[in-house]
Structure 1
Amino acid sequence: MPREKPIRFGFLLLPGFPMSCLTSAIEPLRVANEIAERKVFDWCLVSEDGGAVRSSARVGFDADHALPDTVGLDYLFVLSAPDSAFASRSASQGRLRHLARHGSVLGAISGGVFPLARAGLLNDHRVSVHWCYRAAFVAEFPAIESSDEVIVVDRARQTASGSAAAFDLMLHLIGDRLGPDVSTEVACWFQHPIIRSTGVQQRVPTLYADSTIDCVPEPVRRAIALLNDHIEDTISIAEVAERMNMSQRQLERRFKSATGQSPSVYYRTLRMKAARQLVRFSTRPITDIAVEVGCTNASQLSKNYRSVFGLSPFEDRRNNVAFRDTGPTNGQTASAFTRPAFSLRQ
C-alpha cells in the first residue's frame, strides 16, 4: 500500500519576522512526525528571492526556495513585521494569489497579516490580529474584520495572533490528521498547558498593572471594552458609568482598585497606546494620527504622548526607524551586520 503523501507547509519569511513564531510553528510538526514514526508533515522556508532573511532577533535564516519557485504547498504561512514590504510587490503578491487559486491554504502569524492583507488576500475574511497591532491594522484595513481571538480559521485562510497561538494552530492541524491523542502528546512533549481552540480571546495586559484584562472584575472589563470602542470618538467617563448602571464615583473607585489608574488616565493612555501603533507601524502623518485617537490636533497628541512615553511621536518614529535599521552593538546598518545566517531544515 503506498504511503500517504506528507502535508506540505511553507513559511514565507519577510525581514524582521518574529523568530519565535517560526519555531513555534515548526517544532510541533517535527515532534508529530517523531511520534507517528513517519513523515506526515513536511516543511520549507521561503523568501521572496531565495536568499537569507534576518529575523527581528537579528538571527538570519537560509531559505529553501524563492517565492516564485514555490509550488505544491498545502499551506503557506506569512511571517513578518507589520511594516515589512515585498521588494517586488506586484510579482510577489501575484504569486500569493496564484498559490491561493491553485489550492494552497494561506495563513499569517502575528505581523504576517499585514502583507497578506496588502495583497488583497484577506478581503471578506475574519482574521486574528495581535492586540499590539490592532489599531494599526484597523486603520490600514478598515474593511477587514479583525478579531481578538488567538486563532481564526475562515475557509482557506488561517491566522494566529502570535507564537503561542501558532503552536495551538499547529496542534489543531496535527489533530485533524493524526487524531487528538497525538496532538495532546505533542502538547505534553513541550509542557504546553492547554490546547486553545478558535473562539478563545487573547490575553491583553491592563495598562501599568500586574494583571491582564481577563483578571479584572467584570464591570471594569466591560468599562475597558467601552473605552476601547471609543478611541476616535470620545466617550465621557460619566457616560461609561451610566451605561454600567453605576455612579461615576463608584466606577472610578472600582476602576482604580483593579488597574491602578483612574478611568480618565487609563483612557488617555489607551489612546496613546493606539497612537503609538500608528506612529511605529504606519507612515500616516502625525496630524492624521491625532484625529484617529481623538485628539484635536498634533500639539495635543504630542503633549499626551510625551506624558505617557517620555518623547514626542516624531521622536518615537525616528528612534523606531533607527532601531530597526541599526545593529545592536556598533551602529552598522542591517545590511552591513554580518553575522552568518544558518539553515533551519528538517
Structure 2
Amino acid sequence: MACLTSMIEPLRAANEIADTQAFRWTLISETGGAVESSAMVTFHPAINLAAAEAIDYLIVLSPPDAKFANPRASNGALRMMERHGATLGGVSGGVFPLARAGLMEGHVTSVHWCYAAAFADEFPTHATTDEVIMPDRRRVTISGAAAGFDFALMLIDQKLGSEVMTEVACWFQHPLVRGEGVRQKIPAMRVATTSDMLPDPVASAMRLMSENLEDPICIADICEQITISPRHLERLFKKLTGKSPLAYYHTLRMTSARQLVMYSNRSMREIAQAVGYTTASPFRQRYAEIFGLSPDEDRRKINMFRVQGNAPLPSATPQLGTQH
C-alpha cells in the first residue's frame, strides 16, 4: 500500500499547490477487480489492464511472487502500451512481473535489497543495481516506497519546477530528494546501523562476502584482499555489527537462502548449493540456528501465510544485534 500512496500523494499535493491538473492517475488491475494490499486495505481499480490507453507511465505494484492470471494477454497489453509510447516501471516487488514478461531484458533493474538474491536467481542474465531509482530508456524501476516518493518529486520537478517540488517535499516533511545514483541503505545486522555508515574495511569485507555466496572465501583471504589483520577486522565487526566476520558471513548466506526459500520453487539441495553448501544437511542446521526453524518448515509456514489471504510474510532477515 505504501508504494501506491507514496507515489500518488505527492502528485495530488502538486496539483493543489500549483492550482492545476498537472497530473492524473488511474488505478488498474489485471481484470479490473478489487485488489487487497498487504496492509489488508482493499483498492477498487477503475479499469482492467486491457482497457488502459493514453498512458505516460504504467507502474506495476505487486509482491515478488505475483503472476498474471492470463500472462499471454497481460504481457501483450504491456507491450502494446510500450509501442504506444508508455514508459513501463515497477516498484519493489513489481519489477518481477515486468522481468517475467521479458520487458526488462537489455535494461538495468533497481532491485530492493531484500529481493536481490531471489531476483538474481530467477533472472541471472539481467543487469541490476542497488540504486534507489533506475530510469533506463523507456523503463523506470524503483526500489521501494520512499523511493517512489522521490520519483514522484522528480516528475513534479520536470513538469512544474523545483519550487513546487520543494514545497511538496516540505508538505510531507520529506527530508531530502534522492535522484539517480543514490544507493539503497541496507541494514548491517545491528540496530541503527546501515552499510553506508560503516568504515571502509568493514564495508569492503561485506562487499566481498556478498559477491562470494555460492563459493565462499575464507576470512583470511578477505583480510589479505583489503589489507587488514584478521584480529583488527574481528574487532571492527564485533563493534559495528555485533558479530564476528565469520558469523556475519554465515548470516548473510542464510539471508540470501531465505529469499530463495520464500520466493522460489528451488529444492533445498539447490538452495544449499546456491549459498555455498555442498549438501543440504549442514545448510538446514545453520538455517535453523539463525531463523529458529528448518528451511522446510519455514517454506510451509510461508505458504500458509499466502493461503491465509495476502497476510504479510515474515522478514527475510534475522534478528539484529545477536552476539556470536
| Deviation per residue, 1:166-187 (Å, 9 max, x gap) | 0001100110111111111111
Partner of 1:15: none
Matched, 1:170 2:134: no
Aligned residue identity for 2:45: A
2:62 and 2:271 mapped to 1: Cα distance?
Answer: 23
Partner of 2:34: 52
Partner of 2:25: 43
Partner of 2:249: 267
Question: 8 Å contact 1:275–1:293 — kept in the other structure?
Answer: yes
Matched, 1:69 2:45: no
Partner of 2:305: 323
Partner of 2:188: 206
1:63 and 1:218 mapped to 2: Cα distance?
Answer: 47
Matched, 1:180 2:142: no
1:265 Cα offset (Å): 0.4
Question: 8 Å contact 1:217–1:258 — kept in the other structure?
Answer: no
1:272 and 1:255 mapped to 2: Cα distance?
Answer: 18
1:316 and 1:293 mapped to 2: Cα distance?
Answer: 17
Matched, 1:226 2:208: yes
Partner of 2:276: 294
1:251 Cα offset (Å): 1.3
Partner of 1:28: 10
How does 1:278-289 map onto structure 2 within 5 Å?
A: 278-289=260-271
1:254 Cα offset (Å): 1.5
Matched, 1:310 2:292: yes
Match of 2:83 among 91, 101, 104: 101
| Deviation per residue, 1:243-296 (Å, 9 max, x gap) | 111111221122211111000000000000000001001111111111111111
1:210 Cα offset (Å): 3.5
Partner of 2:226: 244
Question: 8 Å contact 2:114–2:259 — kept in the other structure?
Answer: yes
Question: 8 Å contact 2:26–2:46 — kept in the other structure?
Answer: yes
Partner of 1:10: none
1:197–1:328 CA distance, 2 compared to 1 (3 A): closer
Match of 2:176 among 187, 194, 198: 194
Partner of 1:11: none
Q: Percent identity?
A: 54
1:319 Cα offset (Å): 0.5
SS in 2 for 1:276: helix
1:328 Cα offset (Å): 9.1
How does 1:119-198 map onto structure 2 within 5 Å?
A: 119-198=101-180
1:88–1:41 CA distance, 2 compared to 1 (3 A): same
Aligned residue identity for 1:174: I
1:295 and 1:184 mapped to 2: Cα distance?
Answer: 50
SS in 2 for 1:44: coil
Question: 8 Å contact 2:37–2:310 — kept in the other structure?
Answer: no
How many residue pairs are counted as aligned between the two chains?
A: 311
Aligned residue identity for 2:180: T
| Deviation per residue, 1:4-60 (Å, 9 max, x gap) | xxxxxxxxxxxxxxx000000100010010011010000000001000011111211
SS in 2 for 1:76: strand
Partner of 2:197: 215
1:327 Cα offset (Å): 5.3
1:316 Cα offset (Å): 0.7
Aligned residue identity for 2:255: K
2:142 and 2:256 mapped to 1: Cα distance?
Answer: 21
Give the unaligned 5+ runs of structure 1.
Answer: 1-18, 330-346
